[in-house]
Structure 1
Amino acid sequence: MHNNIRGILYTFIFAIPAYFLGNLFPIIGGPVFAILLGILAAGFKRPATFEPGIKFTGKKILQYSIILLGFEMNLFNVLKIGSHSFYVMIFTLLTSFVVAWSIGKLLALDRCTTTLIGAGTAICGGSAIAALAPVINAEDKDIAFSISTIFLFNVIAVFLFPFLGHLIGMSDTGFGMWAGTAINDTSSVVAAGYSYSTAAGSYATIVKLTRALMIVPACVFFAVLTTRCNKKSSNFNFYKIFPWFILWFIVASIINTIGIIPESITHLLGSAGKFCIILAMSAIGLNTNLHSLVKNGFRPILLGLCCWFAVAAVSLVVQHVLGLI
């Protein structure tokens, strides 16, 4: 741990301004500012003694941040209120991954970038990418491509979805369901929902929180899949490949749900988790090659567009079939 201190402190230089910028511009969010600042700083030479700490921040602290986020998740409440969205979410989740893998193969994108963009679109944007990245052993460039792509469509969604909702004449609950299942990041869901109406914003937020729970089965599934693909079946060891930080995320969620810790403390822990994500994104940016990002940036964006369009369309179709619109 002693060898990591300098690198961890170095990432704070970029995480702190990114945190405040994220508060000023919540639609963009602190993680995006963090990764951008890190990428810009990556072009400058830094002491080699920083490297272990930067890598530790981008991997381990990223996992710790997901655990801390669990302290703001009320499992029973979200599941109860968001039960109507379950079928819509199942179809949109499957659609996102099928489209991601199909189009990603056509675009000759690597497996990790394809999976992360599919997960970010299907589940909850940057949080899903942060949770899944260590499970599938994604490299920093894969995370950078994915975060950048998800961010682009988050911003577009805030302006486009309310316009289309009014154009179609959607009800508050119908639009809330659509925004909650088809917009990637929580901040963008909230912004788009409340710009449509207060009722739509409240409903969209609940749906989005329910959708975020899909991080857990997705991580377990990809942990097993990744190991099956990379090792012989005789070497399969579930204990070694299981994403234990997701288990602790569930434990943290249960602790918050039953209320054995004061709300002020769980809120503080959740806020610490959000800052740790910003810290980890700074480290990922610092390990990202800007030239490579620009050179290969168009294909991930095209993949993200295909996934986003497919998920938005399927959400509307399933709602129509179920009579929810």
Structure 2
Amino acid sequence: MIFGLLTLLCLSGFISPPIALLLGLIIANLSGHPFLEFNNKATNILLQISVIGLGFGMNVNSALTAGKEGFIFTVASIFCTLVLGFFLGKWLRIEKKTSHLISCGTAICGGSAIAAIAPVIKSEEKQTSVALGVIFILNSIALFLFPAIGHWLDLSQQEFGLWCAIAIHDTSSVVGAANKYGPEALQIATTVKLARALWIIPVALITALLFKNKSSNVKIPYFIGLFILAMLMNTYIPQTAIVAPYLVSIAKIGLTITLFLIGAGLNFNVLKAVGLKPLLQGVLLWAFIALAALFSIIYFS
């Protein structure tokens, strides 16, 4: 009953994505999620549809400019995070596959990267769950923390969009934080983050070689192509302007529901199952990428 009422509240468009996430966390630990077994699939589908819808509010030329600016940061941050994650895993004596999944989730795009890499390394369900738990916990914190830090440091929308696209793990939290900061931040963050997500492919191929799983298949994030198509339509087909604002509004509501469902899936049992060492690895990697990206953006961009 309460779960249904809160879902309708998210559908109304009257609450922001961070508040939706908070409501999800509360209901997860008070009354529980009545459809928990379907939660992961539902959030993935809703997130992909929402991201495609946001493409109707973006311009190709602006997106290309943002993508070029974020390219060097993306390559450097992914490489450094994966290397640091390897050594942190060794130091903390974390199981190899769990450590690698946490590193990939931090380096590329959170849960999507973990979902893509897990079958490549043939990880067990618990290893995948622990890595996802670490990422989702830190994503929840980032959604509240990053906009506050951005305003405190007086970052421009361009700077904040680039920073959160690099330093926040999951696309859902990146879009949620950037949307809260401003429309320009949202456009830059979404474009850079989705360009970053394409690095799942080379990282998965390298992972297959390192773990000697040459027969493993790599999952390509096809929805990114539909996001680009939506941008092209919005930029070059004038008639799209009639429906584009409505599609963007629906996409933002979809994002709000997505974050509510993510929060509703983070109950105490999930938090307890993560364990201290994997969480510490995730926090240290996150602190590294967040601080390094922020320093680079402020002093070199």
Question: Per the shorter chain, which TM-score range?
Answer: 0.5 to 0.7
**Equivalent of 1:248, from 213, 216, 223?**
223
Q: Unaligned 5+ residue runs, structure 1?
A: 1-9, 47-52, 195-200
* Compared CA separation, residues 122 and 277, structure 1 to 2 (3 A): same
Could you tell me how far apart the structure 1 residues matched to 2:224 and 2:27 are? 28
Could you say what the CA RMSD is over the residues aligned between the two structures, in angstroms?
4.3
How high is the TM-score relative to the length of structure 1?
A: 0.64
Are 1:306 and 2:295 an aligned pair?
Answer: no
Could you tell me how far apart the structure 2 residues matched to 1:301 and 1:21 are? 35
TM alignment of 1:1-325, pairs within 5 A: 13=4, 16=7, 19=10, 24=15, 26=17, 28-31=18-21, 33-35=23-25, 37-42=27-32, 54-59=36-41, 61-68=42-49, 69-73=51-55, 74=58, 76=60, 77-110=62-95, 114=99, 117-118=102-103, 121-123=106-108, 128-137=109-118, 139-163=128-152, 165=153, 177-178=162-163, 181-182=166-167, 185-189=174-178, 191=180, 204-221=185-202, 223-224=204-205, 232-233=213-214, 236=215, 241-243=217-219, 246-259=221-234, 262-264=243-245, 266-267=247-248, 270-271=251-252, 273-274=254-255, 277-278=258-259, 281=262, 284-285=265-266, 290-291=268-269, 293-294=271-272, 296-316=274-294, 318-319=296-297, 323-324=300-301
Match for 2:189: what amino acid?
Answer: K
Shift of 1:89: 2.8
Shift of 1:145: 2.8
Could you tell me how far apart the structure 2 residues matched to 1:130 and 1:18 are? 26
**2:13/2:253 contact within 8 Å kept:** no
Match for 1:98: what amino acid?
Answer: V
Shift of 1:254: 1.0
Identity between Structure 1 and Structure 2 (%) = 16
* Compared CA separation, residues 39 and 300, structure 1 to 2 (3 A): farther
**1:71/1:253 contact within 8 Å kept:** no
* Compared CA separation, residues 113 and 151, structure 1 to 2 (3 A): farther
Could you tell me how far apart the structure 2 residues matched to 1:20 and 1:29 are? 13
* Compared CA separation, residues 274 and 54, structure 1 to 2 (3 A): same
Could you tell me how far apart the structure 1 residues matched to 2:44 and 2:194 are? 16
How high is the TM-score relative to the length of structure 2?
A: 0.68
**1:70/1:249 contact within 8 Å kept:** yes
Could you tell me how far apart the structure 1 residues matched to 2:227 and 2:151 are? 34
* Compared CA separation, residues 16 and 64, structure 1 to 2 (3 A): same
**1:95/1:314 contact within 8 Å kept:** no
Could you tell me how far apart the structure 1 residues matched to 2:129 and 2:98 are? 10
Aligned to 1:65, the other structure's residue is in SS state helix
Q: Unaligned 5+ residue runs, structure 2?
A: 119-124
Could you tell me how far apart the structure 2 residues matched to 1:112 and 1:21 are? 41
* Compared CA separation, residues 228 and 105, structure 1 to 2 (3 A): same
Tell me which structure has the larger Cα radius of gyration: 1
Could you tell me how far apart the structure 2 residues matched to 1:14 and 1:133 are? 32
Could you tell me how far apart the structure 2 residues matched to 1:319 and 1:254 are? 29
Aligned partner of 2:121 in structure 1 is none
Shift of 1:72: 1.5
